[in-house]
């Protein structure tokens, strides 16, 4: 007699009568079977495997990165001028639409943007000069703070070499020499302003032909036109919104620091504005100096006040307001955004960190958006609109399945 015949069948009613807490759970999905046929994209790759193409792509990226870093002194201000030109393009178009001659509109927009940039640098220069004059007054407090931190680090078992390196960071002489070097590097600043001014004159003049060029290319290169147009719209929305919110963030933080009695409030407000362009990392960079000088002047009460003000303002502006206003213009994952800040900071320096998102969007436009076959990678790099809709549909289906199972249990119970 077979085993199936010797074992009595369990009645359905008895099975339903059992109390089993995981009875309504779905069966675990089986592991997917490996496909036999190669991907369709390999047919157009000349037989070259995906691993070889990835290695070639990474090698090309390394070579290009070193090349960009080698000419970063002229490329960084050029890219800054490009982003500013994209942001100012609608103003120039508006002036021409209202009867302003093309050359006058181009020159007016370029000079206005340059004047705003030069004025901001002048204010930053004044704030740095005030900080240099103020810093020697806090030399004893900074050294005492460094000694306290050193003693605490030794008590938790940190090595003497690491402790010495951390303690050297509280040396006012090093900070003073660093800031003085920034103020004294007039030649580099003038060279940067000259490059930016020249590009702000030439790029808007060339941008006057961009709409016609895009119309000419659209019949033969529609994907390239789509990528360029989408990049301009995304960068413009991101930069304009971030600038306005950064100004509001800097003003509010500066006023709060003044009320809390933190010295050099203007400098920290400017730092807060600049760091608003640096996702994920900028908040912590802008927070550290006010915390240190707030502790030196007001103790732990001022430190708590600075943390509360910066935390609330950052949470409201960068976590609530900015995502709703910018929307899907950026569509970059948090991991990729953080890595882009680190990457462009290494390649192009501080300007690269500030322009990390626009530069990453430029790379996406060139490598992904301009190629229909590569757009399938957009969800992986952060464009999750369809992914979220699918997740919501799957969640609703699972919820409906659980309701049906509960309803069946209720009828059989």
Q: Give per-residue pLDDT as tens, 178-214.
A: 455 544 455 567 778 888 888 888 888 888 888 889 9
**Which carries the bigger pLDDT value, residue 325 or residue 23?**
325
Question: What's residue 48's pLDDT?
Answer: 66
> Rounded distance, CA 78 to CA 350, Å?
14
Indicate the pTM of the whole model.
0.76
> Rounded distance, CA 288 to CA 268, Å?
10
> Rounded distance, CA 238 to CA 276, Å?
12
Two structure tokens written together for 159 = 């090595």
Region 107-121 average pLDDT: 83
Please give the C-alpha separations between residue 85 and each of 76, 211, 215, in angstroms, as whole numbers: 14, 14, 20
271 pLDDT more than 80: yes
Region 56-85 average pLDDT: 91
DSSP per-residue letters across 375-406: GGGHHHHT--HHHHHHHHHHHHHHHHHHHHHH
Question: What's residue 164's pLDDT?
Answer: 60
Q: Which of 47-51, 361-365, 375-379 has the lowest mean pLDDT?
A: 47-51
Banded pLDDT at 109 (limits 50, 70, 90): confident
Two structure tokens written together for 98 = 């209202």
Region 122-130 average pLDDT: 79
**Which carries the bigger pLDDT value, residue 335 or residue 130?**
335
> Rounded distance, CA 403 to CA 405, Å?
5
Angle at 215 between CA 212 and CA 217, to 5 degrees: 110
174 pLDDT more than 80: no
Cα-Cα-Cα-Cα dihedral sign, residues 256, 261, 262, 263: positive
370 pLDDT more than 80: yes
DSSP per-residue letters across 131-195: HHHHGGGGHHHHHHHHHHHHHHHHHTT--HHHHHHHHHTT-HHHHHHHHHHHHH-HHHHHHHHHH
Q: Which of 184-193, 297-306, 364-373, 397-406 has the lowest mean pLDDT?
A: 184-193
232 pLDDT more than 50: yes
8 pLDDT more than 50: no
**Which carries the bigger pLDDT value, residue 126 or residue 156?**
126
| 2-35 CB burial, b ≥16 within 10 A, e <16 | eeeeeeeeeeeeeeeeeeeeeeeeeeeeeeeeee
Query: Greatest CA span in the chain, whole angstroms?
Result: 101
Banded pLDDT at 79 (limits 50, 70, 90): very high
Question: What's residue 350's pLDDT?
Answer: 87
Question: What's residue 201's pLDDT?
Answer: 83
Banded pLDDT at 3 (limits 50, 70, 90): very low
Question: What's residue 1's pLDDT?
Answer: 44
- Mean pLDDT score of the chain, rounded to an integer? 79
**Number of residues assigned to the chain:** 413
Instruction: Assess contact for 95 and 105: CB atoms under 8 A.
Output: yes
> Rounded distance, CA 129 to CA 134, Å?
9
Question: What's residue 379's pLDDT?
Answer: 86
**9-60: per-residue pLDDT in tens?**
444 444 444 444 544 455 555 556 656 555 555 555 555 677 888 889 899 9
Question: What's residue 259's pLDDT?
Answer: 92
Region 79-99 average pLDDT: 87
Tell me whether residue 249 is exposed, middle or buried, using C-beta atoms within 10 angstroms of its C-beta: 0 to 12, 13 to 18, 19 or more.
buried
Nearest to 82 by CA among 204, 240, 237, 229: 204
173 pLDDT more than 60: no
Two structure tokens written together for 378 = 């957009």
């Amino acid at each position: 007699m077979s085993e199936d015949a010797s074992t009595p069948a369990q009645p359905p009613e008895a099975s339903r009568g059992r109390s089993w807490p995981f009875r309504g759970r779905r069966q675990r999905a089986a592991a997917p079977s490996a496909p036999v046929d190669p991907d369709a994209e390999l047919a157009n790759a000349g037989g070259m495997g995906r691993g070889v193409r990835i290695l070639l792509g990474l090698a090309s990226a390394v070579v290009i990165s070193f090349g960009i870093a080698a000419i970063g002194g002229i490329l960084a201000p050029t890219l800054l001028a490009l982003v500013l030109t994209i942001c100012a393009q609608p103003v120039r178009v508006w002036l021409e639409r209202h009867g302003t001659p093309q050359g006058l509109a181009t020159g007016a927009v370029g000079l206005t943007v340059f004047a705003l940039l030069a004025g901001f640098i002048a204010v930053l220069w004044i704030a740095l000069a005030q900080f240099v004059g103020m810093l020697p007054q806090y030399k004893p407090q900074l050294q005492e703070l460094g000694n306290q931190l050193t003693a605490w680090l030794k008590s938790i078992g940190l090595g003497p070499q690491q402790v010495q390196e951390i303690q050297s960071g509280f040396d006012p002489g090093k900070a003073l020499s660093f800031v003085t070097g920034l103020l004294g590097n007039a030649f580099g600043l003038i060279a940067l302003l000259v490059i930016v001014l020249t590009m702000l004159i030439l790029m808007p003049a060339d941008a006057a032909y961009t709409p016609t060029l895009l119309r000419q290319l659209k019949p033969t290169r529609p994907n390239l036109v789509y990528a360029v147009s989408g990049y301009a719209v995304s960068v413009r929305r991101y930069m304009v919104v971030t600038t306005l919110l950064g100004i509001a963030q800097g003003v509010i933080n500066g006023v709060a620091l003044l009320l809390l009695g933190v010295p050099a409030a203007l400098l920290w407000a400017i730092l807060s504005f600049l760091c608003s362009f640096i996702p994920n990392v900028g908040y912590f960079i802008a927070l550290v100096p006010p915390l240190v000088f707030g502790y030196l002047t007001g103790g732990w009460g001022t430190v708590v006040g600075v943390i509360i003000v910066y935390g609330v303002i950052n949470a409201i502006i960068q976590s609530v307001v900015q995502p709703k206003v910018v929307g899907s213009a950026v569509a970059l994952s948090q991991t990729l955004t953080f890595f882009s800040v680190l990457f462009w900071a290494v390649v192009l320096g501080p300007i690269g960190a500030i322009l990390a998102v626009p530069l990453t969007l430029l790379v996406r436009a060139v490598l992904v958006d301009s190629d229909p076959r590569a757009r399938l990678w957009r969800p992986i790099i952060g464009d999750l609109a369809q992914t979220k809709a699918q997740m919501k549909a799957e969640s609703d289906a699972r919820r409906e399945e659980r309701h049906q199972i509960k309803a069946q249990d209720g009828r059989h119970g």
